[in-house]
Amino acid sequence: MRTIGFASLLAAEVVGQDCTVNEAVQCPNSDAWCRGDMCCPDGSICPSAQMRFEKCARGRERVCVDFEATTQSRCSSICNVGDEVQCPESNAWCKGNECCPNGSICPSAAPNFGACERAKAEDCTADSAPIPSPPPPSGMGFCGVASGTPNKNEETWGPLFNSASINWFWNWDIQAKSTDYVPEGWYFVPNLWGTGSFTVGSGVTAHDGPGASTYIVKDIVLGWNEPDIVGLCISQPEIMSPSDGWCPVAGSMGWWFPELVNNSVVLMDDWYQQHDDSRSKGYSVASPQVAAFTDERWLKPFVRASCNAGRCPQMLAWHFYSGGCHDDDSYLEEFSGRLDDTLALMQEFPSIDGTMITEAGTLALEFDGSEPAATCPDSVLVTVMHKMFAIMRQPKYYINGRHIVRHFSWFSQDGTGATYNLSLVDPSTGEMRPLGYAYVEECRAMMASLEIPMNTSTLVV
């Protein structure tokens, strides 16, 4: 063991120096994994974090990056933003805001460029100071939580969530319930789960449940919940279909309105009434939140009918779950497909502002009908989350420098609706889980890259 003399690195154990900054490595004193600028479950800094990262409770336990070599390499070749330079680990060259063959950001990219799969492996710019975490937004941040808001130990996870602007939730209802824990200063997004209208106005609203005494109702209304699938009977899973008996709590609108599943335009008069009522109250309106079919099988014909009737939704909305305990790229191809469908609809109807991905996670279901793994390791679930965000950061998902995904919420539940344990925070202790640390890291990165300077690699026409 030896020590190296850089700020909080003074007492850290150097273990092999066999990793690079932002590489996925194992946390000290834990089975959890981390990547780059994030905190481990014991409160220590991830061993592959940047030298200047100082935002964890306990500092550094271990270091696996050779910062002395990195510093010498960085100082030996200084460049300006936009210079043509060689990519790391490659004979390829890049120029400014581009991605290298290994997925990392070009060493001469601007500090706020984040549209690549990996962060900068090398930074040759003259001003290579670390990019600060974005300040908490004056409004609703990019990332939120689909129900399951943490309800214990807010003093531990609250500052981390705040640092990544994770500050909103929704609960399949038009207002927070008395049983919902509301974190301090959070926004709430109402949902018109099925047909009918509502009377709740936007703005600061009193809360009579645990947590904060008020929350802010965001002026966005989420449309119908999963009208494109029959879904599950949440309250009684043994009821396999609507024909098997009464289900007190169904997970999808398609359970109650099966005619919608195969014909997305059959209830347009109800939708028009909801749209007009919501707009008259000052709300933006998101499309129905489709579970599976963002293509011609459901969302595209629905949006065309709505737009042609002068009621174009201001945003699209959909869910995505990968199937089974797998982190192979093939299990995320459908995620890319839904982003492609979103991009196509926004190009067809330029008044659409973007999309909200309002549920995301991993199902304990194999889509081929085979038996799924009973449990799934955190390392696999964390990798799936990282890959979702890496896909979103691809340059093709920007229109004129602005990202097509406006908001994203993780399904922070344990086993609900046939999911694996997707909780960001342990509900029994209030301690951050590996998925929570990964979410903070990715949401922080997305807040810094929602808008990027335009060049030929980011302009979409």
Cα→Cα distances 227→92, 201, 224, 269, Å? 47, 25, 6, 15
- In words, the CATH class of domain 143-228+264-447 is alpha beta
pLDDT tens per residue across span 100-134: 888 888 888 877 676 777 777 788 875 444 434 44
Please tell me which residue, 311 or 51, carries the higher pLDDT value: 311
Write out the E strands in 162-223.
168-170, 187-188, 203-206, 214-217, 220-221
pLDDT for 102 equals: 84
Which pLDDT band, with edges at 50, 70 and 90, does 183 fall under?
very high
pLDDT of residue 55: 66
Q: How far apart are CA 396 and CA 99, in angstroms?
A: 12
The answer on pLDDT for 182 being more than 50 is yes
Helices (H), 290-399: 299-308, 333-348, 378-392
Q: Which span out of 17-31, 142-156, 243-257, 286-300 was modeled with the highest average pLDDT?
A: 286-300
Q: What is the mean pLDDT of residues 212-230?
A: 95
Report yes or no: 316 and 290 within 8 Å, Cβ to Cβ: no
Lowest mean pLDDT among 151-160, 304-313, 322-331: 151-160
Average of per-residue pLDDT across 6-20: 54
Which of left, alpha, beta for 449 (phi over 0: left; psi -120 to 50: alpha)?
alpha
Mean of all residue pLDDT scores within the chain? 85
**Residue 120 CA from chain centroid, whole number:** 21
The residue extents of the domains of the chain are 7-68, 77-131, 143-228+264-447
Is the pLDDT at 433 greater than 90? The verdict is yes
Please give the structure tokens belonging to residue 234.
């949440």
Q: Is 275 helix (H, G, I), strand (E, B) or coil?
A: helix
The neighbour count for residue 419, using CB atoms within 10 Å, is 21
What is the pLDDT confidence band of residue 314, given thresholds at 50, 70 and 90? very high
| pLDDT over 90 at 44, yes or no | no
Q: Which of 71-85, 233-247, 326-340, 398-412 has the lowest mean pLDDT?
A: 71-85
SS3 26: strand
* pLDDT confidence bin for 272, thresholds 50/70/90: very high
pTM equals: 0.72
Higher pLDDT, 215 or 121: 215
